[in-house]
Amino acid sequence: MALTPAAAPPTSKPAFGFTPTLDEVSGKKGNVEFKVKLPQVSGDKAAARDRFNEGMRTALNDAVRVRDDPKLTKPATIGDGQLQAQESSRVSFIGPHVLSGVAVFLGSSGGPYPSHMVATITINTDTAQPIMFGDVFSDQEAAREKLRKLAQELGSPDRIKAAGDMKSEQFLQWVPAPKGLTFYISVPHVAGDYVPVTVPWEKIRDQVAPAMVPILSQ
């Protein structure tokens, strides 16, 4: 089944020494053919730049590995995806201390229903290290419990119900946004695969590790 790449929305504007791009990447690995627009950045902050770009390439490689099945009679395919909220692959946020991106892939293994895969990365540009969920929240369990409630409150009502109890792994794909943190919560395919939910800072700030607030919220 041929996949037509969706048009990506505008990426972040150049800022703080980084210029965002969407690089055309295509090829075949194993039994998977891929053609995607991959978020990348250029700039003179080499360590952070390279860590971000490598992270996005790793996300694509992971998506290929998941789809690679020697039992397939035809190659699986991975193309550009677009979530129901018009979310597609892009460098999503460039701040004075962070660089974030979202990769949205649409994968098919030959069946009638291709599905989305979402991968996010947030790099601390001061240290060139990725910022993980556990770095953001001091008490991870308390944060997850609050996020579950906020997702139900803020998410698309007809779709967030499909997320069920919202287990820990459903909050692992996230990026900072100007007004808060955006989480890509996985749901069954019939509900769109992922529901983006932006949680405003004023609703989650009390759960964020104090050292992370000035890094993520500028």
Largest CA-CA distance found in the chain, in angstroms, rounded: 52
Q: What is the reported pLDDT for 66?
A: 92
Q: Which domain holds residue 161?
A: 132-217
Number of domains in the chain: 2
Residues 107 and 171 in one domain: no
Residues 114 and 138 in one domain: no
Residues 150 and 48 in one domain: no
Q: At which of 130, 150, 183 does a domain end? A: 130
Q: CATH number of the domain that 147 lies in? A: 3.90.640
Q: For the chain, which residues score pLDDT lower than 70?
A: 1-11
Q: At which of 130, 160, 189 does a domain end? A: 130
**What's the pLDDT tens digit per position in 85-136?**
789 999 999 999 999 999 999 999 877 789 999 999 999 999 999 999 999 9
19, 41, 132, 29 alpha-carbon torsion, rounded to 10°: 160
| Main-chain dihedrals φ then ψ at residue 187, nearest 5 degrees | -135, 165
Residues 198 and 163 in one domain: yes
Per-residue tokens: 90:
């892009």
The pTM assigned to this predicted structure is: 0.91
HSE, CB side, 13 Å, CA atoms: give it for residue 165. 2
Per-residue tokens: 42:
């250029």
Q: CATH number of the domain that 2 lies in? A: 3.30.565.40
Residues 61 and 113 in one domain: yes
Residues 95 and 196 in one domain: no
- In the 8-state DSSP scheme, what is residue 5? P
Residues 202 and 141 in one domain: yes
- In the 8-state DSSP scheme, what is residue 22? E
Q: What is the reported pLDDT for 171?
A: 92
Q: At which of 87, 113, 130 does a domain end? A: 130
Residues 104 and 172 in one domain: no
Q: What is the reported pLDDT for 163?
A: 85
Q: What is the reported pLDDT for 51?
A: 99
Residues 66 and 149 in one domain: no
